Homo-oligomer: A and B are copies of this chain.
Amino acid sequence: MINITFPDGKVREYPAGSTALEIARSISEGLAQKVLSAKVNGEVWDATRPIHTNATLNLLTWDDKDGKNTLWHSSAHLMAEALEALFPGIKFGTGPATENGFYYDVDTGSRQISADDLVKIEEKMLELARQKNAYVRKDISRADALTFFQGKGDEYKIELIEKRGENEALTLYQQGNFVDLCRGPHIPDTGYIKAVKLLNVAGAYWQGDETRQQLQRLYGIAFPKQKDLQEYLVMLEEAKKRDHRKLGQELELFMFSERVGSGLPIWLPKGNALRDRLMNFLRTEQEKRGYKLVTTPHIGRKELYVTSGHYEKYGKDSFQPIHTPREGEEFLLKPMNCPHHCEIYAHRPHSYRDLPLRIAEFGTVYRYEQTGELHGLSRVRGFTQDDAHIFCAPEQVKAEFLNVLDLTRTVLSKMGFKEFTAQVSLRDPNNPAKYLGTDENWRSAENAIIEAAQEAGLTTTMELGEAAFYGPKLDFMVKDAIGRQWQLGTIQVDYNLPERFELEYIGADNKAHRPVMIHRAPFGSMERFISILIENTAGKFPLWLAPEQYALLPISDRFIDYCRQLQDELAQHDILGIIDERNETIGKKIRETELKRIPFMLIVGEKEVENNAVSVRRQGEGDKGSLSIAEFVAHFKAEVEKEA
């Protein structure tokens, strides 16, 4: 018999060799039907793979990220099977799950797959899915694997196998007639795939190398229920309308320039105003919570990054070192702000009374991403982190986590995100040697995070083995207006950098101690956060954030002076907007202001000037009648108040 430990800590006995599926069935048949794979001792396995030793077990369903991954990875195999049936002689590259579905890179020779083929492939996939073919795992030697794929003539697979160690044990997976070189895991059988949509076909170089063959990459997504697909397609349609790249251009928020470089966003006046307001808001909230703002350079000497370890990490794939006229002198564009903040900590001695020291910076960092990976503001090469590093004593970790959770929740709610969950990444309990820092510190930090998340009332999932080698972390997840989940606000404990920079403080015991460092960024980066904010609001920003809160629309030139007076008067209440001085009809002005998502239109004609008033329209809502300036200010402030 073996002992199986469940996520809630309960332990039950099962016969050795039981599978996760069998264990699930022992709990309920309903549960068993939902199990896609299982985390066994922190590693994702086939639900049908026998467990022979005591283990922690986490059953994975469609509600788990790893469960989704398993279904999508299996869908890639299913697509491959369909393709092999439809395009005999097809050769396969690699076919992984992605954040949102799966793809397979394939080579069909001269007969290229076109968008028109996709429906036919989907139909074949569903036909094969209905056969409920089991995904069967087989161990195989490198030599046998080579023989098999040589027989099939699958040159890409052969190349992959040749790269593996001489005596490495490999695995194959087979479902129906299709056999693939694969580490797994997979769902029990193809019947779990109930709905499929192939989204796109694009070119992709073999191994991402421009000098190798160009393959075709087929993107798809699959679901365990037909209804899920329908909802997804509606969401996709809605997401297209809200695409921040499209809205960013229409609303003139940001731009890119070929000469400046791909992935380097340029903030235009309106986007910059929005970004400034966000930063000011966060600055104030941080000051309230005892953060100290600093500004550090965007470069640092190579030695700084050798000390921090980033030089090793951001190697050949990154922006390369900057040489100077001085022989041997090298600088790096900073990929992270933490080394600079460590230098600030280190520049004078500290006592335990100085801690926690919370050093914050809106720091712009640069990281080289492949051109193909760049995407609007969400994946860029230069971005501004709302970064901070908290240097504290080990016993202060929990209080600091609570402080950061409170800050994160406050700022994200103010942005209109109300649904939060958290994911806590912990050590792999079976592999303690892998981690830096004392066992005691780890245990106390992990407990501190879990307790803090509980006290903050967050729905939390725990991921064993997902912690970085230098410390556990918590990721904040939010759901947007169309149901998409986004990861924002990481809080990361770090035992590594204080060690590398030899940071110290003198404790109450008059001895030197090493502080703990906590990295945190509620928004993550201004760029990525604003991309999510644009898509979440569809460009209709909360009133207090709108770069232009109103447009004054004079009915004729004669009223422009009055409009300018109003503009000054409103500015005194910190209400900012523009005057549409163009010589256009009022109807046209209203229509265009609507499209620009400017919250208030203030129409000014003879009557309004006489009564010292404005005629008010609310974007998307229409006419609100004539209001005195004082009334409008009150109305405006009440609406901002309601948003809070």
- Cα(A303)–Cα(B259), bound, Å: 6
Q: Decide if A333 touches B343 in the complex (CB within 8 Å).
A: no
Contacts A340-B260, A343-B259: A319 and B331 contacting too (C-beta < 8 A)? yes
Of A275, A297, A344, A366, the most chain B CB neighbours within 10 A belong to A297
Q: Which of B324, B343, B382 contacts A260 (CB 8 A)?
A: B343
Q: Among the listed B260, B265, B300, which residue makes an inter-chain contact with A261, where contact means beta carbons less than 8 Å apart?
A: B300
A301 to B344, CA, bound (A): 31
Residues A296 and B324 in contact, CB atoms below 8 Å apart? no
How many protomers of this protein does the assembly include?
A: 2
Interface readout for A326-342 with B: 1 if CB under 8 Å, 0 if not? Answer: 10000101000001100
Q: Which residue of B lies closest to A256 (CB)?
A: B347
Chain B CB within 8 A of A153 CB: no
Pick from A74-82, A266-274, A621-629 the stretch touching chain B: A266-274
- For the residues of A in contact with B, the DSSP-based class is mixed
- Is there contact, CB below 8 Å, between B260 and A273? no
A625 nearest CB across to chain B (Å): 31
Q: Which chain B residues lie closer than 8 Å to A324 at the CB level? A: 318-320, 368
Assuming the contacts A320-B324, A324-B320, A325-B368, asked whether A344 and B296 have C-beta atoms less than 8 A apart, the reply is no
Docked pose: A191 CA to B3 CA in angstroms = 104
Choose among B264, B266, B295, B323 the residue that contacts A320 (Cβ–Cβ < 8 A).
Answer: B323
Q: Is A371 an interface residue (CB 8 A)?
A: yes
Q: Complex: how many Å from CA A316 to CA B326?
A: 10
Given contacts A257-B343, A257-B347, A368-B324, contact A295 B319 (CB under 8 A): no
Residues on B with C-beta less than 8 A from A161 are: none
- A638 to chain B minimum Cβ distance, whole angstroms, is 20
B residues in contact with A359, CB < 8 Å: 269
If the complex has contacts A319-B324, A368-B324, are A266 and B300 also in contact, measured as CB distance less than 8 A? Answer: no
Minimum C-beta distance from A502 to chain B (A): 12
- Asked if A295 contacts B272 (CB within 8 A), the reply is yes
The answer to whether B325 and A316 touch across the interface, beta carbons within 8 angstroms, is: yes
A317 within 8 A of B: yes
Q: Do the beta carbons of A295 and B322 come within 8 Å of each other?
A: no
CB-based contact A259/B301 at 8 Å:
yes
Measured between beta carbons, the chain B residues less than 8 angstroms from A364 are 297-298
Known: A259-B303, A259-B307. A269 touches B292 (CB 8 A): yes
User: Which residues of A pack against B, CB within 8 Å?
Assistant: 255, 257-261, 264-269, 272-273, 275-276, 292-301, 303-304, 307, 316-326, 331, 333, 339-340, 343-344, 347, 359, 364, 366, 368, 371, 382
